Structure 1
Amino acid sequence: MSRDGINAAILALIVALGGIVAGCTDTPGTTSAGSAPPTGEETPRLQQTAESAGNVTAGSNQFAFDLYSRLANDPAYAGRNLFFSPYSISSALAITYEGAHGTTADEIRSVLHLPENDTLQREGFSAIDAGLNRADANYILRTANALWAEETYSFLPEYTTAAARWYGANVTNLDFKGSPEASRETINRWVEEQTEDKIRDLLPAGSIDTMTRLVITNAIYFKGTWVKQFDANETEEEDFRIAPNETVRVPMMQRTDRGAVYGYTETDTLQVLEMPYARGNGSEVSMLVLLPKEDSLTAAEESLDAETVAGLHQSLTSRRVDVFFPKFRLETDYSLPGVLAAMGMPTVFTDSADLSGMDGMKKLFVSDIVHKAFVDVNEEGTEAAAATGVIVAPLAAPPGSEMPIPVFRADHPFVFLIVEEDSGTVLFIGRVVNQERL
């Protein structure tokens, strides 16, 4: 896609800057929102699909920025690196939303910025997901969803059918009651397989017990090479300022040759660099880096809203740039009930939850939402993975305790997004504030 085309898509999809989407492609042979329309309906159908994808992208990207802002401004994360996949979280929560009613559904829809029209929502997730899973010879990008159900518990066929049709989330029955630990290991193995072993032990020991009735999972994996790779022989140890009077040594990659031509723009307070990944026939994927001209991340983080990011992306021009960019590797994990409740969806975690769309009764609630993410940026390119698990239990069961959050420090503070350009979907988002370990 040309830059004009990308900018047009960004402006159209990101007026509320759109989102991380969910799901997995439909099984071969089934009809999905991304499938070829019947003869005679092609133009209306394609327009409807584009509208659906745009609505879901817009809302989900806004959720990405909302969640980033919430985490970045939490005193518990002061001075810490952040990295997560809003796409993965939105995917799992969209499937949860399919089983929610009343206030519970309203809160989830509001926090995720989902379209109020369920048809637009479902078709949007399905269409964007089909694009994300489109094969490409130059990079790997895939996502998958799954439902893991207690084998003795009855879920409504309407719920499981919708999960399978629109999100590719097929049901696997497990013996949570009799073998909770073995069930946990089964789910974790699936996550490892989907993420090339980069996300291990998504569900920690004790997170699955005899009261678990359903686990909703999403996994996403990306591995791509830079269009303009860095020469490893040019990488040098350099200082990185983590505070006005404090530095650490980091491996700094560099491109200062005539071929170092990138999408670039700047403001009074910010430099913006777009580094694309090589592609063949698949979607265009790139890393967008927001680097403050001063050491404080304020300028970058204040730019994380729909209109500002769209404007920055539109103003990118191709020009030669001397690029110095650190190698870094981050691994993070989060327990999300607290932050999501604070963002406006508390009910699903309480005894007032209404997940009757799953089983026909008001007897279930979400006991925990866990998320893990991994990213490795080096001279060749980027490898990134993430997974989300939504654990559903009977109301009689107490909510699970939150998991500890490890700290990973990196280089000169910056914010980075990995974006699927065709839809404008933010696949991953993070910031690098400090770097002590590679």
Structure 2
Amino acid sequence: MIFDRRTTLSLTGAVLAGMIGRAGAADTDTFDDDDETADFPALEFVTEPDVDVDALAEQIRGNVAVSLALLAQLREDGPGENLFFSPYSVSVALAMTYAGARGETADEMGDAMEYVLEDETLHAAFGALEAEFEQRNEDGADVDRPVPADDGNGNGDEGEREGEEEDGPAFQLASANAIWGDENYPFDDGYVDLLETYYGAGERLVDFEGDPEGAREEINEWVETQTNDRIEDLLPAGSVDEATRLVLTNAVYFLAAWEHEFNPDATEPTPFTSLDGTETDVETMHQTRELRYADVDGHQFVELPYANGQTSMVVLLPAEGEFESFEASLTVDRLATMLEAADVLEVELAFPRFGIESQFSLVEPLAELGMERAFDERSDFGGMEGDDEEVFIDDVVHQSFVEVDEEGTEAAAATAVVMEDEAAEPVERVEMSVDRPFLFYIRDRPTETPLFWGRVVDGETLQE
């Protein structure tokens, strides 16, 4: 089914990964030509505390690398299936968990998530990013919704909308965090204060030991509220029990209109070739417009900006027959090379309208990345525990949802970590028909933060 355009997208997460920082403006996406390998742009950190620019740039690289590593792990269970997830949601939740890790547990988590910044500097940077996104959301409230773009064939209207009512702001991005602790468990006050200070995650006391089902329902209700009821039953029945001591949650809401909307009149069914070679007609949008575009060894790249001017969708279309080899070899440097090669050209774009829902347990993917002790009795979360109590991560649950249509993008995800004790002028026109497997990610341009990642390889289920 095609998701209802009015569907509110959001993202909720708990426990996963690295990403912080503040970068220069979006139009400073440049690279140092003297470098042997392409790198992400130099960053200007403008929030407190003062963080070394070089260290912050390495942290941003680590964030992107982790998102690619998770993508590689998640696709192994369904190499022929579409998938979608939010590395940002995972990052914030896991950073909150990392704040309580000690010893080898902290070392493994830091290495797996490629943390460069340390101690409170890391969490202050996460807090700065959360504040930055909140400002992005406030700024987006003043962004006007665009009109449908001309598709290059006379189908479009650059004037006022006729007979259409505004259907909400053109851009929304908000994030919220919460920690759910058992009312009888002695959590360290310093740990709770740190999460409140940098993540705004006030402690909510629940009775896991006496009423785990009631606690589960309360957490799910919070998630539903933060996601406008679009993420339901994040924690399934039985996911928390009498041994549960802590659940960490992060919620992010994302809704963005394109800077130049596609004209619905130009949308038509066209063949899409899936990874297994089968061909399916899918509703495909068309637009001819000046966009940032690159062709590197036959692999095409296009960037579709959203109306607020600070976020975009990047679409990576590997050369025909080379999707799997391209995906397997995609690295931070290779991605940066395509960013560097991009120029503003007039792109005749054909792009499928699509929706994807995904659901994962992230325990095995994280363990494969080297985060093992956090999931068993060897764990050391001494920074969050009081007295001689011990906890470990029992599960990391992630759900996600994306819809892409003529007006823009809605994206949602939810993650919960359950912890238990015991255990320029165009120079040419190019064509880009996204009619075969492709990758895409939604990024915050000023900070180079990957908010969402996805892969589309199966046309038959693309628009169910």
Instruction: Give me the TM-score of the superposition, normalised by structure 1.
Output: 0.84
Aligned partner of 1:146 among 178, 200, 207? 178
Question: Secondary structure at the residue paired with 1:429?
Answer: strand
**Residue in 1 that maps onto 2:28:** 5
Q: 1:182 to 1:248 in 2, by over 3 A?
A: same
The AA in structure 2 aligned to 1:435 is G
- Which of 350, 360, 365 is the equivalent residue of 2:392? 365
* Alignment equivalent of 1:197, drawn from 229, 232, 242: 229
- Counterpart secondary structure, 2:384: helix
Paired residue for 1:48?
51
Closer/same/farther in 2, CA of residues 145 and 117 from structure 1, 3 Å limit: same
Question: Partners of 1:92 and 1:222 in 2: how far apart?
Answer: 17
Determine the structure 1 residue equivalent to 2:65.
62
3-state SS of 1:358 partner: coil
Q: Distance in 1 between matches of 2:222 and 2:40?
A: 32
Counterpart pick for 1:415 among 439, 442, 454: 439
Structure 2: which amino acid aligns with 1:417? Answer: Y
Question: In structure 2, the residue corresponding to 1:100 is in which secondary structure?
Answer: coil
Give 1:363 deviation, angstroms: 1.6
CA contact 1:147–1:171 (8 Å) conserved in 2: yes
Equivalent residue, structure 1, for 2:253: 221
Equivalent residue letter for 1:264: Y
2:264 paired with 1:232: yes
In the superposition, relative to structure 1, how do residues 3 and 368 fare at CA in structure 2: closer, same or farther (>3 Å)?
closer
Determine which structure has the larger helix proportion and give its number: 1
The CA distance in 2 between the partners of 1:279 and 1:102, in whole Å, is 43
- Give 1:428's aligned residue: 452
**2:238 alignment partner, SS class:** coil
The verdict on how the C-alpha distance between 1:362 and 1:179 changes in structure 2, with shifts beyond 3 A counting, is: closer
User: Would the alpha carbon gap of residues 173 and 3 (structure 1) be closer, same or farther in structure 2, given more than 3 Å must change?
Assistant: closer
How far residue 55 of structure 1 moved from its aligned partner, in angstroms, is: 4.6
**CA contact 2:391–2:419 (8 Å) conserved in 1:** yes
- Shift, 1:120, TM fit: 2.8
Alignment partner, residue 194 of structure 2: 162
| 1:178 aligned onto 2:210 | yes
- Within the candidate set 385, 404, 411, 1:377 is matched to 404
Is the 2:220–2:234 Cα contact (8 Å) retained in structure 1?
yes
2:365 to 311, 336, 339: 339
Q: Is the 8 A contact 1:49 1:124 kept in 2?
A: no
Which amino acid is the alignment partner of residue 205 of structure 2? N
- 8 Å contact kept, 1:376–1:382: yes
Shift of 1:253: 0.6
Please list the CA deviations of residues 253-305 of structure 1 after superposition, one character each: whole Å capped at 9, or x if unmatched: 1113xxx111000111300000000017xxx0000000012144235414531
Distance 1:50 1:199, change over 3 A: farther
Instruction: Indicate the RMSD between aligned Cα atoms, in angstroms.
Output: 2.5
Residues 77, 190 of structure 1: CA spacing in aligned structure 2 closer, same or farther, 3 A cutoff? same
Match of 1:394 among 421, 431, 447: 421
- CA separation of 1:369 and 1:52: change in aligned 2, threshold 3 A: same
Match of 1:252 in 2: 284
Structure 2 residue runs of 5 or longer lacking an equivalent are 1-23, 142-169, 424-433
Match of 1:272 among 296, 301, 304: 301
* 1:34–1:130 Cα contact (<8 Å) kept: no
Match of 1:405 in 2: none
Provide the C-alpha distance between the structure 2 equivalents of 1:250 and 1:413, rounded to a whole number of angstroms: 13
- Identity, % of aligned positions: 39
| Contact residue 57 and residue 425 of structure 1 kept, 8 A | yes
CA contact (8 A) 1:60 1:112 kept: yes
SS at 2:28's partner residue?
A: helix
Aligned residues: 392
Tell me the CA shift for residue 48 of structure 1.
2.8
- Residue 17 of structure 2 is matched in structure 1 by none
Q: Which runs of 5+ in 1 are unaligned?
A: 19-32, 38-44, 397-409
| Change beyond 3 A, Cα 1:102–1:381 | same
The alpha-carbon distance between structure 1 residues 411 and 431, as it changes in their structure 2 partners (threshold 3 A), is farther
Match of 2:121 in 1: 120
User: Residue type of the partner of 2:363?
Assistant: P
